[in-house]
Structure 1
Amino acid sequence: MTTKPALCDGPWMATSAPSSHPTDAESDSPPLGQLLVRSAVGLRDRTAVQALVEEELLLARDHVRKALVTQQDGITACRWEGMAGHLYTLGLDEGERAFLGLMLSIVGVQQSHLAAVEYLDERRLKIVLQAMIRLAGNDQIAIGTRM
């Protein structure tokens, strides 16, 4: 089951990756998504991290977490450069790879063509569009279903 606790510093929401049996120490610590958002430095990193946390499914995969998440000096953070090197070796489908490629592009460690959105499902497309709006510094544009 996934929870979505609100963060104290703005409109960002964090989501935890599902874990099998949390230990007592793990149950006292914040969810992984919240740790990653807190450690994000700068707008680009924070935007990409938040989109990844909102997407949920990729961060829930062990092999993606191992390629992306690092802990150093007690800080859990995304290591985007490491993900760029593993993007094509993780066994991801086109949509998953396109989503991560666009996040890498937001952070600035890799270039991805916007045409990659053709491989995104509706849910991931919405997340990417919201990330682009956040990156532009605009919170007035709503993304939703057309009437």
Structure 2
Amino acid sequence: MTTTEPGAEGPTEEVELQALGEQLLRTAKSSPARAAVQALIGEHTILSAPAVRQALILHTDDGEMAHFEGLAGHQYSLGLDKQQRCFLELVLSMVGIGMITLAVVQNLDDRRLALLLRATLQLAGNETLAVGTRL
């Protein structure tokens, strides 16, 4: 699979992904689900994969919502690269799915690591710590 970097999509796809992200956040029923959705939105490349959207999105009367259990059942057949898979496994663990060691963060690049750290702080309800580059 060719990994699409953030911003490499066309304008229409970018707008659709943004609208999808907003919808998934609106329909997230718990704080862990909101943190996980926010992490996927920020990571961008995973959510832009059609196979991921097909496995993740559940159509309900309230609109589309994230169904992480459905995504978990397909995580190894989505065509994701190693970093994307590691990131996804950590995100799924935020909603209580799967068993993964924290040591997998060694496989993440700086951008994904920062996203995961921000999501972890959001999950913990911490608004005082900041994630950024050390000077």
TM-score per shorter chain, which class?
Answer: 0.7 to 0.9
- CA RMSD in angstroms, aligned pairs only: 2.1
1:33 maps to which of 8, 11, 21 = 21
State the SS of the aligned residue for 2:86: helix
Report runs of 4+ in structure 1 exceeding 4 Å deviation.
none
Post-superposition CA distance 1:19-73 (Å, at most 9, x none): 28x8xxx8xxx80000000000111111101111111111111111111112122
1:66-77 aligned at under 5 Å gives the runs 66-77=54-65
The structure number with the bigger radius of gyration is: 1
The answer as to 2:133 corresponding to 1:139 is: no
Task: State the alpha-carbon separation in 1 of the partners of residues 91 and 119 from structure 2.
Answer: 9
Query: Given the alignment of the two structures, is residue 89 of structure 1 paired with residue 89 of structure 2, yes or no?
Result: no
Specify the SS of the correspondent of 1:31. Answer: helix
Structure number with higher helix proportion: 2
Shift in alpha-carbon separation, 1:18–1:108, aligned structure 2, 3 A = farther
One-letter amino acid of the structure 1 residue matched with residue 113 of structure 2? L
Q: How far, CA to CA, are the matches of 2:99 and 2:33 in structure 1? A: 15
**Bigger relative CO (Cα 8 Å, ≥ 6 apart):** 2
1:59 counterpart (24, 32, 47): 47
TM-score by length of 1: 0.79
State the distance in 1 between where 2:33 and 2:63 align: 15
Using the alignment, how far apart are the partners of 2:70 and 2:126 within structure 1? 30
Give the superposition deviation at 1:18: 5.6
Could you tell me which residue of structure 2 aligns to residue 114 of structure 1? 102
Q: Deviations over 1:122-145 (max 9, x none)?
A: 111000000111111111111111
Aligned length: 126
What is the rounded CA distance, in whole Å, between the counterparts of 2:65 and 2:108 in structure 1? 25
Structure 2: gaps (5+ residues): 1-5
Q: Distance in 1 between the 2:25 and 2:108 partners?
A: 23
In 1, Cα distance between equivalents of 2:62 and 2:123: 28
How far 1:113 moved relative to its partner?
1.3
Distance 2:12 2:109 in 1: 22
User: 1:44 aligns to what?
Assistant: 32
Aligned partners of 2:32 and 2:123 also within 8 Å? yes
Percent of paired sites with the same residue = 44
CA contact (8 A) 2:43 2:112 kept: yes
